[in-house]
A and B are shown apart, each in its own frame.
Chain A
Amino acid sequence: AQSVTQLDSQVPVFEEAPVELRCNYSSSVSVYLFWYVQYPNQGLQLLLKYLSGSTLVESINGFEAEFNKSQTSFHLRKPSVHISDTAEYFCAVRDSGTYKYIFGTGTRLKVLA
């Protein structure tokens, strides 16, 4: 069965520093990959997704993620974080066979002033 691993439960980082949130998934023939963000007391919002084509995908607020098939990873990065990026980030995989969305356990990003 498909699984998603987010090894870091919490990541503290100073404002304007770079950050990488790691995501690994178990191998599958074909998957769609997503990063969602959850701000306090809100539901999840899509940050970016990989469907096919270029392995580097970007969001409108400066985040990017790279699909690495050989390492089955989809790490999320931002070169310079802001206080407003403080939130919980979830990596998700949609299995093309079962259609199920599988979510990781989330990484809480805390940006420090």
Chain B
Amino acid sequence: KAGVTQTPRYLIKTRGQQVTLSCSPISGHRSVSWYQQTPGQGLQFLFEYFSETQRNKGNFPGRFSGRQFSNSRSEMNVSTLELGDSALYLCASSDSLGGADEQYFGPGTRLTVT
């Protein structure tokens, strides 16, 4: 099976702009989670989608939003970018919501805001 793919891999944006990141989960996986990774902060959970519904949400402002499509692909959108949004954004998929399933991570999208 192909792994989790994320596009684009690298992105440079200017403050105030918006950005959309894409994630394709492993075939058959219905749960997709998004994380923000910054040095010293580790992975901060953004949200999780399962069967097109947001099931969990982290403590991020409303500028961060996401959605999931019927084929389980997911997009994350950040509006009105700030310098502090510069980070590696990781997407992870798993077989089910809840339970002991491990998450499979994509390589991430590195976003730089100037």
Indicate, yes or no, whether A interacts with B: yes
Binding site for B on A (CB under 8 A): 6, 9, 32, 34, 36, 41-46, 49, 51, 90, 94, 96, 98-106
- The residues in B between 19 and 57 inclusive whose CB is less than 8 angstroms from any CB of A are 33, 35, 40-43, 45, 48, 55-56
In the complex, the answer to whether B55 meets A104 with C-beta atoms within 8 Å is no
A60 to B56, CA, bound (A): 32
In the complex, the answer to whether B100 meets A45 with C-beta atoms within 8 Å is no
A96 to B55, CA, bound (A): 14
How close is A81's CB to chain B, nearest CB, in angstroms?
22
A45 to B107, CA, bound (A): 10
Binding site for A on B (CB under 8 A): 4, 33, 35, 40-43, 45, 48, 55-56, 58, 90, 92, 97-100, 102-108
In the complex, the answer to whether A44 meets B90 with C-beta atoms within 8 Å is yes
Can you name 12 A-B pairs with beta carbons within 8 Å? A43-B107, A44-B92, A49-B100, A99-B48, A99-B55, A99-B56, A99-B97, A99-B99, A100-B56, A103-B42, A105-B40, A106-B42
In the complex, the answer to whether A9 meets B102 with C-beta atoms within 8 Å is no
Residue of A nearest to B40 (CB): A105
A34 to B103, CA, bound (A): 10
A110 to B58, CA, bound (A): 31
In the complex, the answer to whether B42 meets A43 with C-beta atoms within 8 Å is no
Known: A9-B40, A44-B90, A49-B100. A102 touches B45 (CB 8 A): yes
In the complex, the answer to whether B97 meets A101 with C-beta atoms within 8 Å is no
Given A44-B103, A99-B48, 11 further pairs, Cβ under 8 A: A6-B42, A32-B99, A44-B92, A44-B105, A90-B43, A98-B56, A101-B33, A105-B40, A105-B41, A105-B42, A106-B42
